Amino acid sequence: MASLSSLNSICIDPACFIKYQDDVKISKPKKLCVRASVASSAPQSVQFEDFKARKFEKFRIGVLGASGYTGSEIIRLLANHPNFRITLMTADRKAGQSIGSVFPHLVKQDLPDMVAVKDADFSNVDAVFCCLPHGTTQEIIKGLPSSLKIVDLSADFRLQDIGEYEEWYGQPHKAQELQKEAVYGLTEISRDEIQGARLIANPGCYPTSIQLPLIPLIKANLIEVKNIIIDSKSGVSGAGRGAKEANLYTEIAEGIHSYGVTRHRHVPEIEQGLSEAAKSKVTVSFTPHLMPMSRGMQSTIYVEMAPGASTEDLYQHLSNFYEKEEFVVLLKKNEIPHTRHVRGSNYCLMSVFPDRIPGRAIIISVIDNLVKGASGQALQNLNLMMGIPENTGLLSVPLFP
């Protein structure tokens, strides 16, 4: 029998089980139920016994900042998770309210009422999703019990250089020791480090859509690290749920809204990941835009190919790199990724095209900014941290139309 690290068709979804001994029903392999990627060097028998034990184990989950969009997405995804149950939810401004009163689409979920962070009891919690705004997270996480596994969806622990954090976020970092411990959680790139981590800095939405196609190509020396131009577009939910004049319907509808030109806070995060892949400083030209849609994200990336490389080389390398991945999909040649085809899902669709300018290529990458760009990737990471298949609770197909 193969080890868990080599199994390519594991999922713990009621519609798709693989036979383990005689306790569950056999189903034929399907494309959506693949690649759990639980890598381990432990003996096969130990891995199998550990998996059987954890299959029915319930971990107690806290959601800090449950009244925001990423918090509500965590709750939605966990509704179908067999191993996680929510025992704590915080929302300072909504303390004392039920989740159904804040998000009517979650009214049928049997969950505890939300409480203020200062009143939260973590004695009944094994792991935490921190969905709070940047700048507020550091001190809160610093005060949490050291036994907790934490996935932080804010930007507070993404930048390794705390000086750079202060420059881009306008305030000093208040948990410098924790910053040294944090692991950047781009799942498909840093899976091994994520498995052994206690604190994960969940990537931002734009950096996820950009780094997934670019990091493998940079590591393979197939593209130049100069003159990378990135044009990204996001649904308005990426700006959060807070009431802001710039996000009013009449300000956003029927138009494209460019913002953060040359100074968007995701720039240092993008450049940090690409520089690490290149082993040299990488500077990109990045311009984001808000689109009049609630969710979805597309990054169109213009790159200069390395001498002798072709778009076919780029395509084949991405195909090989992501061939065994569950959630990153390289489309067939000439197929264009569209945001509507990933809505509500944890998938990233991408493709590569030749530019009309010789020696250049165009890469298009699409994700749902609230799922693969936030809460879905956070759940994927916590699955890894807790030792269960990383696709658990994430196999919902995209919502279309």
Residues designated catalytic: 205
Structure tokens that stand for 291 in this block? 């689109």
Q: At what angle do helices 205-219 and 267-278 cross, to 10 degrees?
A: 20
Residue written as tokens 């990045």? Answer: 286
Pairing of strands 84-90, 127-130: unpaired
Whether omega for the bond prior to residue 292 falls within 30 degrees of 0, making it cis, is no
- For every residue of 257-288, DSSP letters joined together read EE-STTT-TTHHHHHHHHHHHHTS---EEEEE
Considering only CA atoms, which of 376, 382, 377, 346 is closest in space to residue 125? 382
Burial 209-242 (b: 16+ CB within 10 A, else e): bbbbbbbbbbebebbbbeebebebbbbbbbbeee
Considering only CA atoms, which of 286, 310, 312, 311 is closest in space to residue 299? 286
How far apart, in whole angstroms, are the C-alpha atoms of residue 349 and residue 329?
5
Give just the sign of the alpha carbon dihedral 311, 314, 317, 321. Answer: negative
